Amino acid sequence: MTALQKSVADGRAFCPISDSCFLEVFKQTDANTRQRTAALIDELSLGVTIIAFDLRIGTEIAHLLHAGLTPEQVYPLDQLVWTKLSYALGYFSPRICMFDELDDRAIEKAFFDHMWTIPLVEIEQCIGEANYTQDSGRHERLAHTLNQGIAEHAPGIKSFKQVYEHELVGVMDLYAGRAADILCDMAPPSLGPRPAKKTGGYKAIERHCLSLLVGAMNTDKGKATLRTLHIETSIYAALRWNKGQKFKANDFFDIQHAGAAVGYCDAFFTERSLANVLTRSDLGLDILYGCTVVSNPEAALKYIQLLV
């Protein structure tokens, strides 16, 4: 820890968090431990976080579509996914209807600027454990449901490739509508009015987008851009293919940690079972995204010492 703190203090490294890490802080029920964790995150992250999961996936999809049409007009994806700790769960601002539009916008900007400076320790003091304990058993129930489904469909699973493709189509179906909205926004006015949702025209665009997103994962560019979905889909598929392994509640957090870190960070320190999946030779997620994945303290220390 001392070596890591020195690397951060010397400007050689920083340790951003993600929305899943933010939420895990508030799983800690001991107030003192939670406050000390928040203070350590403030020190090591320098107040930086990767944008929230859903916003990040939308950004990746938009980047894929815009880069395909006007590659010279898009910024590198690595530059589009960073924000401050106070916005780890997404962007928000108060809407005060008692003022005119100009004053309302000024208040909104002032609020944003203020939130931008707030450290995690101050956020922790405001919300404590209330952010998580509203439904602390949700992930346990979800893990149980997934394990039941995996056991039910296990006899029909014949290969990892089959599992990955099944997972991929399922997750891309969830985001086909997002891609359709982006395409509609990109369309020139000469193509006519935007089709209303749930109409035949809009559903046709959604089907096209589903095929486009699934097909993109067969290309290097698609995997490089839709990295969050590719990483997490690969991990879920690996867990399903390992038929003797059961999902645990904390797996959902660990998988989202990996989706953010492996896709956008230089190194990811995690537990051995997850590291084994990320570094599997047939997946090579660590190599694909240029992220050093480490699962033991000695290797982590060696990596950090090379930064000093």
pLDDT of 245: 83
Phi, psi at 84, each rounded to 5°: -105, 160
Partners of 267 in the β-ladder: 292
Higher model confidence: residue 15 or residue 131? 15
Concatenate the DSSP letters of all residues of 239-255 into one string: HHHSTT----TTHHHHH
pLDDT band at 265 (very low <50, low <70, confident <90, very high): very high
> Per DSSP, which regions of 48-97 are E strands?
48-50, 82-84
pLDDT of 244: 76
User: What is the distance of C-alpha 85 from the center of its chain?
Assistant: 14
pLDDT band at 136 (very low <50, low <70, confident <90, very high): low
pLDDT of 122: 93
User: Is residue 255's pLDDT more than 90?
Assistant: yes
Range of the domain at 183: 2-305
Please state the domain count of the chain: 1
3-state secondary structure of 294: strand
How many whole angstroms separate alpha carbon 85 and alpha carbon 147?
Answer: 33
Look-up of token digits 């990040």: 56
How many whole angstroms separate alpha carbon 77 and alpha carbon 64?
Answer: 9
Amino acid at 292: T
pLDDT band at 176 (very low <50, low <70, confident <90, very high): very high
How many whole angstroms separate alpha carbon 49 and alpha carbon 55?
Answer: 13
Phi, psi at 265, each rounded to 5°: -115, 160
Which of 259, 223, 250 has its CA nearest to residue 53?
259
Q: What is the pLDDT of residues 72-115, one digit of tens each?
A: 999 999 999 999 999 999 988 777 777 788 888 888 899 999 99
